[in-house]
Amino acid sequence: MTKNLKLNYHYAERAEQYSFYRMPKILFTDNRFKRLSTEAKVLYGLMLDRMSLSVMNKWFDEEKRVYIYYSLEDAMEQLNCGKDKGVKLFAELDTGKGYGLIERKKQGQGKPTIIYVKELFGFSEVLTSEKPKSTLLKNRIQDFGKADPNNTDINNTDINNTDYNDTEIISYPISGEPMEKSSADTIRWIDECKSYKDLIKKNIEYDIIKAQYGTWLDEIVLIMTDVVCSRSPTIRINKQDYPTDVVKSRFLKITSQHIEYIHDSIKDNTSNVRNIRAFLITTIYNSLETIDNFYTAKVNHDLYG
């Protein structure tokens, strides 16, 4: 066993140089997951990480649901465990006798099993009030009813060659069904949007960075909330339709660091953006993948420029 590794300290800009696996906090804070083993929680996080690969490869079923390929051998290798332990961890997560965090579907004919990784958000955080709240209705109009500028020039980003004008504009409500089904459904939807908005603010440390960005940050929060609460099955980003759940998952991973990156990208952009809202949605979506390269280039420029 290797012991006493000789590792360096973290200094300034290198303190956030790693790539991370993300595990939902609810798995560790909600009593309903108290008996779920830590290894199973880590396995769920590893499967969540595979979702981006699935989107890249367009692994969607006929209902546009994202699925992943993640074998027992993958788990054994990444978790450094034996076959019996790996089987047990899959069973803990499965919809059969487990917690229902994943759903496995055999394809037969020697094809690999596909896995649906179930979404956790909304499991406990989303409000479900049945009572009408006039203040929320009023706030909904104020918060989500703003018109979107379409012909805004903003000053380079690493995605400035994208045709944003083709990106779908999202607005409340988005659904194949009318929102007027019942007042209770409408209220629940409004409460859900408010809950998501609060979560987004928490994720980006809104109260801390608000003074730095002013009203621009409020617009970003509204756009993110709009996307996350969309009832459309897909959202178009750069001429490509992505399952709403995938886009939603990405938007809920945005932190204050991504906000800084998005702001810097927009500030440095020199192209004529005809649809600022679509441009922002695409920039936010891509920020999880492009932020590391952006700041690496920036540090190199500062050091050697």
Query: With bands split at pLDDT 50, 70 and 90, how would you rate the model's confidence at 141?
Result: very low
**What is residue 178's predicted lDDT score, i.e. its pLDDT?**
41
**What is residue 109's predicted lDDT score, i.e. its pLDDT?**
82
- Mean pLDDT, all residues of the chain: 75
What size, in residues, is the chain?
305
Residues 43 and 80 in one domain: yes
pTM: 0.47
Query: With bands split at pLDDT 50, 70 and 90, how would you rate the model's confidence at 68?
Result: very high
Residues 64 and 173 in one domain: no
Of 117, 149, 164, the position where a domain reaches its end is: 117
- Per-residue pLDDT, averaged over 243-268, amounts to 88
DSSP sequence for 149-216: -SS------TTTTS-GGGSPP--S---SS-GGG-HHHHHHHHHHHHHHHHHHHHHTTHHHHHHHHTHH
Q: Give the count of domains, the chain.
A: 2
Residues 169 and 296 in one domain: yes
Q: Which residue has the higher pLDDT, 216 or 294?
A: 216
Query: With bands split at pLDDT 50, 70 and 90, how would you rate the model's confidence at 202?
Result: very high
Residues 217 and 289 in one domain: yes
Q: Kindly state the percentage of the chain with pLDDT values over 90.
A: 30
Of 58, 85, 117, the position where a domain reaches its end is: 117
Of 54, 86, 117, the position where a domain reaches its end is: 117
Tell me the CATH number at 54. Answer: 1.10.10
Considering the domain boundaries, does residue 141 fall inside one?
yes
- Per-residue pLDDT, averaged over 125-149, amounts to 37
| Domain encompassing residue 54 | 20-117
Query: With bands split at pLDDT 50, 70 and 90, how would you rate the model's confidence at 264?
Result: confident
Residues 159 and 281 in one domain: yes
Query: With bands split at pLDDT 50, 70 and 90, how would you rate the model's confidence at 288?
Result: confident
Residues 249 and 275 in one domain: yes
* pLDDT of residue 298 exceeding 50: yes
Residues 168 and 292 in one domain: yes
Residues 93 and 193 in one domain: no
Contact (Cβ atoms closer than 8 angstroms) between residue 123 and residue 26: yes
CA nearest to 173, candidates 121, 226, 133, 218? 226
* pLDDT of residue 160 exceeding 70: no
Residues 164 and 197 in one domain: yes
* pLDDT of residue 43 exceeding 90: yes
- Per-residue pLDDT, averaged over 41-69, amounts to 89
- Return d(Cα 203, Cα 259) in angstroms, integer: 10
